[in-house]
Amino acid sequence: MKPLLPALVLITSACFTCASFAQTGEITLQQALSRSLQHNPQLAGYKFRRAALDGEHTTAQLRPETRFQLEAENIAGSGEFSGVDAAELTLSFSSIIELGGQRDARTGVVTARQQQLQTERRVAVLDLVAAVNYRFIALLAAQEQQRLEEEAQHLGQALVDSLVKRVQAGSTPQAELMRARAALARTGIAVDKARQQAQEEALLLSAFWADASPDFTRAHGDLFALTNPEPLANWQTRLAQNPDLTLLGDATRLRTAELRKADSERKLALGWNAGVRQFQQSDDTAVILGVNIPLAAGKRASGAVQTARAEQDAARFAEDTAKSRLETRLNQTFIAHQQALNETLSLRDRILPLLQDASRATANAFEQGRYSSLELAMAQRELLETRAELINAALRAHETRIELERLTASAPAQELAE
């Protein structure tokens, strides 16, 4: 296998219109993916498994061993066979001639396992890419939620400041100010929770490259930058590229190779030996030759053949079942993606502008004394809650897009050199 060239990983699922660089303390999606693929502990373990299979492949290619044998007969007996004067010394070599393609069958099994390992690593890479995308987007969403809670705190503080003046002027009851201060205290708790959540998301992201003390605190990107949806037919066409199906196909090929190996054990393996025998009494020598043929080898291997054939049938059944299951999962994910995308666009482009205008109008009316603080707080709360709904909808839109790309192996990921 030739070495893989180092490259940054680009993921269309994120759909972030971020610059090629980030400010100090920020991290881009490309940087997170590059670090993960270079330093993820799980991926690092595959090189050891590959080295082990290389060793097995070398062993499988070896021909049957040749044995050296030395025998001494007619020694230390009684009578004329006492001592070593009547000894017969035999020096011989023996081995096996495999006539049923056993060596090729052994090698085929290891080769199939090597291919399976390569596919497993590709699946692990795609899973890692998807997981990093999920976590990166979760960090962006946590940042947006923190920003929202901080804005709620700012609005709450502004309302308290305004009510303090009104209470002092005698135009507003003290109770309204007390309620506003209680609401402000609750926003402080919400801000602390949002900050903690963002910190936790940053730690969870850096865990993909085993960094317990990340050098960033924020993700650099736009949660609300979404791409136009693709039709379902495009995703269905690419479903054949699903890496899990490829892995199941490799499992079927491995079972086929194991069946071939088991079947080869039923074929003839001819044993032979050849050597020289020396007779001490006459000081003569003679060549010896011998062959041995195992009896009922086919019957002894029939159980292994039956087991291998059953496992091959089970692997094929699992592959066919997975195709149907993945088609259903793709359709469900596509519907969820469409729903989340439509909700995001509706909230962002239609509902939020109306609520923003309504909130400004309510604030103006409050300043003019036509609305109470309760009506202003309700208008602000409705706006903030809708913005929170927008964050959740955008998060779901990205997550379902990533899932579609994972199902169809559509994300253009390139593995880094090991």
398-408 pLDDT, tens digit each: 999 999 999 99
Token code pair at residue 371: 């609305």
Taking CA atoms, 416 is separated from 6, 7, 34, 35, 168, in Å, by 4, 6, 8, 10, 67
Beta strand 26-27 pairing with 218-219: parallel
**Range from 48-57, 240-249, 266-275, 281-290 carrying the lowest mean pLDDT:** 266-275
Whether residue 218 lies inside any domain: the answer is yes
Q: How does the average pLDDT of the chain come out, rounded? A: 84
pLDDT band at 12 (very low <50, low <70, confident <90, very high): very low
With a CB cutoff of 8 Å and minimum separation 6, the contacts of 137 are 14, 223, 395, 398, 399, 402
Say which residue, 359 or 266, is predicted with more confidence: 359
Whether residue 282 lies inside any domain: the answer is no
The alpha carbon of 23 is separated from its chain's Cα centroid by a whole number of angstroms, namely 29
Number of domains observed in the structure of the chain? 1
Residue 411: per-residue pLDDT: 65
Whether residue 219 lies inside any domain: the answer is yes
Beta strand 269-279 pairing with 284-292: antiparallel
Nearest Cα residue to 139 out of 337, 391, 344: 391
Average pLDDT over residues 196-220: 93
Whether residue 299 lies inside any domain: the answer is no
With a CB cutoff of 8 Å and minimum separation 6, the contacts of 196 are none
Residue 3: per-residue pLDDT: 32
Cβ contact 201:139 at 8 Å: yes
Whether residue 166 lies inside any domain: the answer is yes
Q: Where are the alpha helices (DSSP H) in 170-242?
A: 174-206, 232-238
Say which residue, 298 or 191, is predicted with more confidence: 191
373-408 and 297-346 helices cross at what angle (nearest 10)? 150
- The domain of 247 spans 26-66+101-266+306-408
- Side-chain-facing half-sphere of 205: CA atoms under 13 Å: 32
Q: Is the pLDDT of residue 295 over 90?
A: no
Residue 282: per-residue pLDDT: 77
Q: Is the pLDDT of residue 269 over 80?
A: no
Q: Is the pLDDT of residue 31 over 70?
A: yes
Whether residue 336 lies inside any domain: the answer is yes
**The domain that contains 185 carries what CATH number?**
1.20.1600.10
Q: Provide the 3-class DSSP secondary structure of residue 303.
A: helix
- Over residues 94-118, the pLDDT tens digits come to 888 777 788 888 888 888 888 888 8
Whether residue 392 lies inside any domain: the answer is yes
Say which residue, 107 or 269, is predicted with more confidence: 107
Q: Provide the 3-class DSSP secondary structure of residue 272.
A: strand
Dist. CA 29–CA 220, nearest whole Å: 7
Taking CA atoms, 268 is separated from 109, 297, 374, in Å, by 20, 8, 93
Token code pair at residue 359: 């909130």
Residue 27, amino acid: I
Say which residue, 262 or 36, is predicted with more confidence: 36
pLDDT band at 23 (very low <50, low <70, confident <90, very high): low
Say which residue, 281 or 405, is predicted with more confidence: 405
Average pLDDT over residues 175-198: 95
Say which residue, 296 or 96, is predicted with more confidence: 96
Residue 412: per-residue pLDDT: 52
Whether residue 11 lies inside any domain: the answer is no
Residue 1: per-residue pLDDT: 34
Question: Left, alpha or beta for 341 (phi > 0: left; psi -120 to 50: alpha)?
Answer: alpha
Average pLDDT over residues 162-173: 89
- Over residues 350-390, the pLDDT tens digits come to 999 999 999 999 999 998 888 888 899 999 999 999 999 99
- Over residues 56-89, the pLDDT tens digits come to 888 888 888 888 888 888 777 666 666 767 778 8
- Over residues 125-144, the pLDDT tens digits come to 999 999 999 999 999 999 99
Residue 81: per-residue pLDDT: 66
